[in-house]
Amino acid sequence: MVQKTPSSRPGGRQATVRVKTAGKRSESSKRWLERHLNDPYVVEATKRGYRSRAAFKLLQLDEKFHFLAPGMRVVDLGAAPGGWTQIAVEKVQTSKEGWKVVGLDILPMDAVPGAVTMQADFLEESASVRLKEALGGPADIVLSDMAAPTTGHQQTDHLRIAGLAEAAYDFAEEVLAPGGVFVAKLFQGGAERDLLDRMKKAFAVVKHAKPAASRAESSETYVVATGFRGVKTSDHRDQGGDDDQDEGRDAR
- CATH classification at residue 73: 3.40.50.150
194 is in an annotated binding site: no
Per-residue pLDDT of 72-118, as tens digits, reads 999 999 999 999 999 999 999 999 999 999 999 999 999 999 999 99
Domain limits at 42?
Answer: 20-49
Give the global pTM: 0.80
Q: Measured between alpha carbons, how far is 54 from 41 in angstroms, rounded to an integer?
A: 8
Answer yes or no: do 195 and 215 share one domain: yes
Answer yes or no: do 41 and 99 share one domain: no
159 confidence band (pLDDT: 50, 70, 90): confident
Q: Average of pLDDT values for 215-237?
A: 80
- Domain presence at residue 126: yes
Lay out the sheet containing 242-244: strands in order across.
Answer: 116-119, 100-105, 73-77, 139-144, 176-187, 220-228, 203-209, 242-244
What is the predicted pLDDT for the residue at 28?
A: 55
- Domain presence at residue 205: yes
Answer yes or no: do 42 and 100 share one domain: no
Answer yes or no: do 66 and 44 share one domain: no
Answer yes or no: do 189 and 227 share one domain: yes
Kindly give the interhelix angle for 154-175 and 193-202, rounded to the nearest 10 degrees: 20
- Domain presence at residue 30: yes
| Total count of domains within the chain | 2
**pLDDT at position 240 over 50:** no
What is the predicted pLDDT for the residue at 189?
A: 67
Lowest mean pLDDT of 60-69, 142-151, 191-200, 235-244, name the range: 235-244
- Domain presence at residue 5: no
235 is in an annotated binding site: no
- Domain presence at residue 14: no
Known catalytic membership, residue 185:
yes
Answer yes or no: do 59 and 39 share one domain: no
Answer yes or no: do 225 and 169 share one domain: yes
Q: Which of 185, 200, 201, 207 is catalytic?
A: 185
Q: Measured between alpha carbons, how far is 14 from 251 in angstroms, rounded to an integer?
A: 24
Average pLDDT, the chain: 83
Give the CA-trace dihedral at 230, 71, 75, 177, to 10 degrees: -10
Lowest mean pLDDT of 4-8, 92-96, 171-175, name the range: 4-8
Answer yes or no: do 25 and 148 share one domain: no
Answer yes or no: do 66 and 33 share one domain: no
39 is in an annotated binding site: no
What is the predicted pLDDT for the residue at 247?
A: 43
- Domain presence at residue 232: yes
Beta bridge partners of 68: none
Instruction: Classify residue 82 as left (phi > 0), alpha (psi -120 to 50) or beta.
Output: left
- Domain presence at residue 176: yes
Answer yes or no: do 74 and 161 share one domain: yes
DSSP tag of 115: S
121 is in an annotated binding site: yes
- Domain presence at residue 34: yes
Answer yes or no: do 103 and 134 share one domain: yes
Answer yes or no: do 57 and 41 share one domain: no
